Amino acid sequence: MFLYIFVTRTCINFNQNTIIMKKIILVAAMVLGFAAAAVAQPRAIGLRGGYGAELSYQHTLGSNFVEADLGLYTFNAVSLGATYNWMLVQPDWTDRGEWGVYAGPGANLGIGFNGWFNVAVCGQVGLEYTFWFPLQLSLDIRPALGFSTGDKPFYFGGFYPSLGVRYKF
């Protein structure tokens, strides 16, 4: 009788432990799969300068990418901008590296050091070159149109070229 109870309880515990272990393995596999998918998306971080200086971050989504920039605009305001860019053309101009022509819409927020605030929609058009080592150069223009609480009620700017230098990882 004692042997029957011992074997029965051991088998029940073994079955319960097996089910729990299968669940743990399944959850671990899902977490690793999601982590691998997140890491597989190329990113780039660096600087973008033109009429100000910005920290720039790009996150690739398929052949397109999202760019977010935070920096000083005309060195008298803090600006935050984000654009979703479509890779329009990737010409094969060189044997090494990749060229890309992109464009897309976005939004900008700005806060001036003297108290003004602006909200604007923008568009970005640019040309980039990614070297065969993890360095990316870009030249773009990002015109913006929006509203401001400063001296002028409308904000219109960004018609200046900007050069970006990013580390791609």
Tell me the percentage of the chain whose pLDDT exceeds 90: 63
Tell me the percentage of the chain whose pLDDT exceeds 70: 78
Q: For 53-82, write each residue's pLDDT tens digit.
A: 999 999 999 999 999 999 998 778 999 999
| Stated length of the chain | 169
Distance from C-alpha of 15 to C-alpha of 65, rounded to nearest angstrom = 48
Which segment, 7-21, 33-47, 120-134, is predicted with the most confidence on average?
120-134
